[in-house]
Structures are given as structure tokens and as C-alpha cells.
Amino acid sequence: MSAATPYPAAAGPVLTLTVNPTVDLCWDVDHLTDVGKNRARVRSVAGGGGGINVARGVARLGGRAMAVHTAGREVGSRLNSLLDEEGLDHLAVGIAEETREALVLFETASGRSHHIVPPGPRLDEREGQRLLDTLGQAIGTSRYVVASGSLPGGLSDDFYAAVARRVGAAGSRLVLDTSGPALRQALAEGVFLFRCNRTEAADLLGRPVRGFDDALAVNAQLLATGAAEIAVTTIGALGALCSTRHGHTELRAPPPPGKLISDAGAGDSMVAALTERLAAGDDPVAACAWGVAVAAASVLTPGTEPFDREVAESLCRDVGIRLRTG
């Protein structure tokens, strides 16, 4: 797709939706042992969950973002306080059950991260409806809405499909990044952009997704069925395939300048980067190339720590771009 194709800049901030947010506790340990105590040091405490992470990434890249999310009980209050202290624009919808906490454990001796995430609270239908209504009221002039992350128990599998209808009725574009039965129903409704990793892609395709050929099969299926106008399948360290009605483009990840530490935030970082550039008016391939670079930068940091923008900019020059001819 050429840069001349109209992708007008967003009038309002990128709006994100996080149905099942977290308070992320990031701890460091020297070496995990199965005998005695493991002494830990607190590295960071921050609000998290797909949409919140995307909003943070958009803001970090110089864009404007507003996060809509649930918040329940004491952990929900802490989540709100953390986002306020961070200066991230957000709108909380209260729920009856406790917001979840997640633990990111970084073992300094091995350089490995362990991301431990509980399922979270259950929402009832009234809470889900309140969340939908709040989202609809918050869209305003936002041209892009990102729905990212898992659904908690209690909500029906058509929740993200209902989100797609709300976003479409407002004249905005939905960027979706989720999995499971809720994903299939949302895709049946149709979305503007769908980003999936190789696990989610394999579930849609019915076989493992190991490389660009498999990713092309997934994306072609998504476009042919009208599930998405833009399909982006990420293939781990290989990079991503970006597909539109104009064709399929391989975006090969640049060689990492350091040791890969954690991929916990790579997907959210990529979605943040590509949405921020789409909102600024870039074409999908250029936006996706930037997303691959930002994802590559994010795996160089422990746990869910923010990526280094300067590192991402240097990596972007080395993203390999190749148009598929078949």
C-alpha cells in the first residue's frame, strides 16, 4: 500500500479498552531455588493489562491515548492511583470483585523472566453493559479504538463483537488483540485490524504457524472472510506479516543488539506502535514496520518494563521489508 492511500490522522486520542487489567508486581531475585526462601527486590509496581499497556506505549511514542478499564475493590483503587501517578489518562468502570494482581519474576543470574498471571475477577452482565456504555461515550472523536487482552469470567463470548458494533457505529476503527471464543465472534462481526501471535494464528488455521508461508495462509483467510481489513500475524523472532487488500508484506525483525530478556510486553508494544502511527496517518506497512522495531526493543527489557525509544528507532532501520508476490 502506498503512502498516498488515505489514512487520516486521528482527531482524538487513541482509545484503549482493558476488560481484565492488572497491577503488575515486578520483582528481582538473584537465583530461584526450591529450598528455603527466595529473597526478592521490588523492581516496579505498575498498572497493566493489554489496553493499559498499549495506551502507555502510545503515550511513550508521543501520541495521545486514553485507557478505559475496569477497577474493583482495593487492588482496583491501587490501579487507579498508579495510573494517576503515572499521568496516564484513564477512565475506570467500577466492578464488584477484586482486580487481579500479576507477578513478573526476573532471575538476574539467568536473565530469565517468569510472568505469573491469575484469571482475575468475574463480571456480571450489568457490569459488562456499563463498560460498553462507558466505552461508547468515551469514543468521541477517537478514530482508533484498541481492544486488547483476555476476557474475565462472567462475560459472554460475544462481548468483543458488541465492542466492534459500538466502535463501528461511532465511525471509528477497531484494532483487536485477543484470543479464544471471544476472538472468533468478534472476527465474525468484522474489525479494522487484527493482530495475532503464532499461537492464536495456529488456532485459527488449524495447524502450527512456523513461518511467513503459514502466516500468509492465516492472513489471507482473515481478509477473504471479511474478518479484518488489515491482518497482522507475528511470528516470534522472525518478525511479522502485514496483509491488506493490496497485498502481503513480510517484515523481518532486525538482529537483536543484546540478550533477549522477556517477551512479556512485546505484543502490546507492537500494537501501541502500529496504532500510534496509523493514528498519525501512516500507511499500514510503515506502521507495522515500526511496530516490529518497537517489539524488538521491548524484549531487551526485563518483565513489562517500557521499551527504549532510541533503541527502537535504531532497530527500525534494519527491519527487512519484502512484498510477497504469491
- Residues designated catalytic: 268
19: its cell numbers: 476488560
Q: Cα 59 from chain centroid?
A: 14
Rounded-to-integer distance, Cα 275 and Cα 187, Å:
19
Rounded-to-integer distance, Cα 55 and Cα 83, Å:
11
